[in-house]
Amino acid sequence: MSAQDNLDVIRTYWDALQHPDPASLQTMMERMDDDIGWEVIPLGLKRQGKEQMRQLIERSWADAPPDGWHEITNAFASDDWVCLEYTARGTMTKELPHLNIRYQPTGQKMELRAVDVFQIKSGKIALAREYYDHATHMRQLGVETATT
């Protein structure tokens, strides 16, 4: 597939991610390889296969801030890879158990810049890795981190 085709796969996936409903979930699942691998690098969180991804997506939607949204700031692709740079924003009113993050939600505002890298094989997402600064995320959630 071409770089543009791969971008289209990810943009369709990404647009569906922003709309938590059964039709959007189906759209996302159709863009995944059966044996998809997903890693959230700063957390050491790994998911394998469509069923684990379905569970992760459903849990992330349930935990999402009511005003949460993701804005793509940059996207580029090759014949096998797509990279998205984005900013996630929201008011944190719930914990994030889908990411194994526990904290006291007090309505704090969160803005996090991140990069996701996707490997595309035969028009499907085969591998995805999320990168972001976890320390910045924790500070915004009010979690104290040790300093030297």
* Fold (topology level) of 3-141: Nuclear Transport Factor 2; Chain: A, (3.10.450)
Type of residue found at 137? H
Q: What is the mean pLDDT of residues 103-132?
A: 91
> What is the rounded distance in angstroms from the CA atom of residue 136 to the CA atom of residue 108?
13
Write the CA distances from 49 to 53, 59, 98, integer angstroms.
6, 16, 16
Confidence of residue 63 (pLDDT cuts 50, 70, 90): confident
Q: Is the pLDDT of residue 112 over 70?
A: yes
Tell which wins on pLDDT, 124 or 65. 124
Q: Is the pLDDT of residue 134 over 70?
A: yes
β-pairing, 32-40 vs 124-132, is: parallel
CA 131 to chain centre: 9
Task: Give the model's pLDDT for residue 141.
Answer: 74
> What is the rounded distance in angstroms from the CA atom of residue 148 to the CA atom of residue 138?
17
DSSP state of 96: B
Task: Give the model's pLDDT for residue 75.
Answer: 96
The mean of the pLDDT values for the chain is 89
* Helices (H) then strands (E): counts for the chain: 4, 6
Task: Give the model's pLDDT for residue 95.
Answer: 72
Contact between residue 13 and residue 19 where contact means Cβ atoms under 8 Å apart: no
Confidence of residue 57 (pLDDT cuts 50, 70, 90): very high
Residue extents of the structural domains in the chain: 3-141
pLDDT in tens, 68-86: 888 999 999 999 999 999 9
Tell which wins on pLDDT, 140 or 91. 91
The order of strands in the sheet holding 108-121 is 45-48, 32-40, 124-132, 108-121, 81-92, 69-77
- Taking residue 102's Cβ as centre, other Cβ atoms within 10 Å add up to 11
